[in-house]
Amino acid sequence: MAPPPPRRRDVTVSDVAKHARVSKATAARALGDYGAVSDTVRDRVQAAAEALGYRPNELARSMNTGKSNTIGVIVGDIENPYFGLAMRGISDAAKEEGFDVILVNTSEDVDAEIDAVRVLLDKRVDGLIVAPASSGETGHLRDVYNSGRPLVLLDRRVDGLDVDVIEADMASVAFEATRHLVDVGHRRIGFISTLDVKGPYHDGLDLRVSSVADRLQGVLGAQQEAGIPDPGSLVRFADGSAGIRPVARELLALPDAPTAIIASDSLIALAVLGTLQELGLRVPDDVSFVMFDDFEWTTLTTPPLTVISQPIYDMGVAAGKTVIARVQSRAVPERRAFQATLVQRESVAPPRASAGGAIEALSAS
């Protein structure tokens, strides 16, 4: 590796001005494209800038315009394809409007999120898109709001915070998916999500992530409507993605194991399917399976999976357009409620006649 070139002093407006033999103010006007400048002078200044290789210092510019043309995005996990795709949407929307995006990954850690908000605010981003890790801690989100900078929540609401939220209607599609399972005969339906709550699920538990709460509400609601007793008993939360497989195993080892499982996102689905595979359980013969999010690989498994599809990219675009519209005090785009749909493929079938659990079914076959 060659020695790095000396970091030369950058060319500034003053340098350009000197070279073009005009005042700094005039050069700045010609370069910044504001105020009035005669054509001849403008040309001379631009030629000088070209010759010197002048590049504006956006930091300095931001400092006195108060606009950084940058929005901050705070998500739990960009490795999660959900956020990868949403990020793509945000990024595309931002580019179209001439904005840049600072991305911060919090690993779903509230403290990291609080920190991220502070840092981005200090960096003077013009607006923020956050998928909040918890609806419990919201002081930092209020700070954003109070700073006067627009905040848009993605995928998750926070109660009592009156800001734009981009989310899909999860409760009704979860209801629909669950009723589909009930309709084909399932009475023991498991639901697995990742969430940092301690202890088993019980009525009235504060879920802290609205998108999960909504999904669960739909799942439970459909079962209650069907007269299934205590559907909450087959709900499980894993703390972090490493915890999913153990939780899935535990659920499937139950004497009254579920005959169908709903996975709350694609990462969970992957872990659950992996566990099923390890246990030698077949989908849908032994266990029916439904998952949230529709990525291409879900059509390539055997069988293709029944999924709940959300317009993730579009939601990302909407989030981007919305913050930027707010930043520019323009009317926000109309469309902010997104529809999720149940895509029926082949991972749902009637449960085995056997009354036993999944593992039991296995030994019976």
Partner DNA sequence: TTACCTTGTGAGTCCGGTCTCAATCAGCTA
Partner DNA sequence: TAGCTGATTGAGACCGGACTCACAAGGTAA
Q: Give the interface segment with a copy of itself, choosing from 22-30, 141-149, 203-211, 218-226 (CB under 8 A).
A: 141-149
In whole angstroms, give the CA distance from residue 294 to residue 281.
22
Residue 29 vs 179, nearer CB to DNA:
29
Q: Which does 35 bind (CB under 5 to 8 A by kind): DNA, a copy of itself, none?
A: DNA
According to the binding rule CB under 8 A, does residue 58 interact with a copy of itself? yes
Please pick, from the candidates 17, 27, 74, 85, the single residue that binds a copy of itself as defined by CB under 8 A.
Answer: 85
SS3 320: helix
Closest CA to 85 of 316, 297, 338, 293: 316
According to the binding rule CB under 7 A, does residue 31 interact with DNA? yes
Please pick, from the candidates 23, 38, 224, 277, the single residue that binds a copy of itself as defined by CB under 8 A.
Answer: 277
Closest CA to 155 of 145, 165, 163, 141: 165
Q: Rounded to the nearest whole angstrom, what is the least distance from the CB of residue 60 to DNA in the complex?
A: 4
- Note whether 85 and 316 are within 8 A (CB): yes
According to the binding rule CB under 7 A, does residue 10 interact with DNA? yes
Q: Give the interface segment with a copy of itself, choosing from 21-29, 122-130, 199-207, 252-260 (CB under 8 A).
A: 122-130
Please pick, from the candidates 18, 24, 88, 157, the single residue that binds a copy of itself as defined by CB under 8 A.
Answer: 88
Sheet holding 260-263, edge to edge: 235-238, 189-194, 260-263, 288-292, 306-309, 341-343
Residue 119 vs 342, nearer CB to a copy of itself:
119
Q: Rounded to the nearest whole angstrom, what is the least distance from the CB of residue 297 to a copy of itself in the complex?
A: 4
In whole angstroms, give the CA distance from residue 145 to residue 70.
17
Bridge partners, residue 237, by sequence: 193
Q: Which does 36 bind (CB under 5 to 8 A by kind): a copy of itself, DNA, none?
A: DNA
The residues in 199-238 that bind a copy of itself, with binding defined as CB under 8 A, are none
Cα torsion 193, 197, 202, 204: sign: negative
Tell me 270's DSSP state.
H
Q: Rounded to the nearest whole angstrom, what is the least distance from the CB of residue 250 to a copy of itself in the complex?
A: 20
According to the binding rule CB under 7 A, does residue 327 interact with DNA? no
Q: Give the interface segment with a copy of itself, choosing from 78-86, 188-196, 203-211, 339-347 (CB under 8 A).
A: 78-86
Q: Is residue 82 classed exposed, middle or buried when 0-12, 13-18 and 19+ CB atoms within 10 A define those classes?
A: buried
Residue 10 vs 285, nearer CB to DNA:
10
Q: What is the CA radius of gyration of the chain?
A: 27
According to the binding rule CB under 8 A, does residue 338 interact with a copy of itself? no
Q: Using alpha carbons only, what angle is made at residue 91 by residues 215 and 68, rounded to the nearest 5 degrees?
A: 120
The residues in 33-92 that bind DNA, with binding defined as CB under 7 A, are 34-38, 40-41, 54-57, 60-61, 63-65
In whole angstroms, give the CA distance from residue 167 to residue 141.
17
In whole angstroms, give the CA distance from residue 43 to residue 22.
12
Question: Token digits for 326?
Answer: 């707010």
In whole angstroms, give the CA distance from residue 273 to residue 281.
9
- How many amino acids of this chain bind DNA (CB under 7 A)? 31
Question: Token digits for 103?
Answer: 């991305």
Close Cβ partners of 278 (under 8 Å, ≥ 6 residues apart): none
Bridge partners, residue 70, by sequence: 100
According to the binding rule CB under 7 A, does residue 198 interact with DNA? no
Residue 37 vs 235, nearer CB to DNA:
37
Q: Give the interface segment with a copy of itself, choosing from 14-22, 60-68, 203-211, 213-221 (CB under 8 A).
A: 60-68
Binding site for a copy of itself (CB under 8 A): 1-2, 4-8, 55-60, 62-63, 68, 70, 77-79, 81, 84-85, 87-88, 91-92, 95, 100-105, 112, 118-124, 145-150, 162-164, 270-271, 273-274, 277, 295-297, 299-302, 326
Binding site for DNA (CB under 7 A): 9-14, 22-26, 28-29, 31-32, 34-38, 40-41, 54-57, 60-61, 63-65
